[in-house]
């Protein structure tokens, strides 16, 4: 039956049908396939971070969780030489708590919290205009961590192979035993 179907499509072999069928599966996005503008506007492929343990965080400057910037920076400073990178994605989806421009956000982060980890241009993490990266993180990356972003400072932890392995909700701080233990475990792998 498959061979008959392949002839109907004009394919000369069963192998052609298999390739046609598998193409959408092979084209499924992976974390490293995304390229986003940095907070300075430079095009930044996430493949730049291949081989690193990555903590992706949607951040905001006027949120009750904003002091987590300090813990994020401390975690980054402590483990960056072992292969951890933290990626900050400003988002204005919750209570208009990130109203500034990219330049204003960068200034705020560097002067108030001495942020040195990579920051990206403002994105949307929820709703009809959700950036493709966050569509991937919340829908396709890993069913165990899927689901809509509920608030600022939701954290996704990615292993050295680009697999999203854990999600931490906003109330779980970057310096919590839970986050630190997972980061340490992935850094040892």
30 vs 65: CA distance, rounded Å = 29
Helix or strand run (H / E) with residue 164 = strand 164-168
pLDDT digit string (tens) for 117-157?
999 999 999 999 999 999 999 999 999 999 999 999 999 99
Domains with residue ranges and CATH for the chain? 1-30 (no CATH), 34-188 (3.40.30.10)
Query: Phi then psi for 85, rounded to 5 degrees?
Result: -130, 140
Residues designated catalytic: 63
Cβ neighbours around 157 below 10 Å, total: 21
Residue in this structure with the two tokens 């988002």, named with its chain if needed: 91
Cβ neighbours around 40 below 10 Å, total: 12
Given a contact cutoff of 8 angstroms between Cβ atoms, the answer to whether 141 and 164 are in contact is yes
Helix or strand run (H / E) with residue 18 = helix 14-26
pLDDT of the residue at 10: 53
pLDDT digit string (tens) for 44-62?
999 999 999 999 999 999 9
User: Which has the closest alpha carbon to 92: 79, 104, 107, 80?
Assistant: 104
- Angle between the N-to-C axes of helices 177-188 and 68-79, in degrees from 0 to 180, rounded to the nearest 10: 20
Summarize the confidence of residues 100-117 as an average pLDDT.
97
């Amino acid at each position: 039956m498959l061979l008959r179907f392949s002839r109907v499509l004009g394919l000369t072999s069963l192998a052609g049908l298999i390739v046609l069928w598998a193409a959408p599966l092979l084209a499924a996005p992976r974390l490293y396939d995304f390229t986003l503008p940095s907070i300075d506007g430079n095009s930044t492929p996430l493949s730049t971070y291949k081989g690193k343990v990555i903590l992706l965080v949607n951040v905001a400057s006027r949120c009750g969780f904003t002091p987590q910037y300090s813990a994020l920076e401390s975690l980054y400073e402590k483990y960056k030489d072992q292969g951890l990178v933290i990626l900050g994605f400003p988002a204005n989806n919750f209570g208009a708590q990130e109203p500034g421009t990219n330049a204003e956000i960068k200034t705020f982060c560097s002067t108030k919290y001495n942020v040195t980890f990579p920051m990206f241009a403002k994105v949307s993490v929820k709703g009809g205009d959700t950036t493709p990266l966050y569509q991937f993180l919340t829908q396709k990356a890993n069913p165990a961590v899927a689901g809509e972003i509920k608030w600022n400072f939701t954290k996704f932890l990615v292993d050295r192979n680009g697999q999203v392995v854990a999600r931490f909700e906003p109330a779980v701080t970057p310096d919590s035993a839970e986050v630190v233990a997972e980061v340490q475990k992935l850094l040892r792998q």
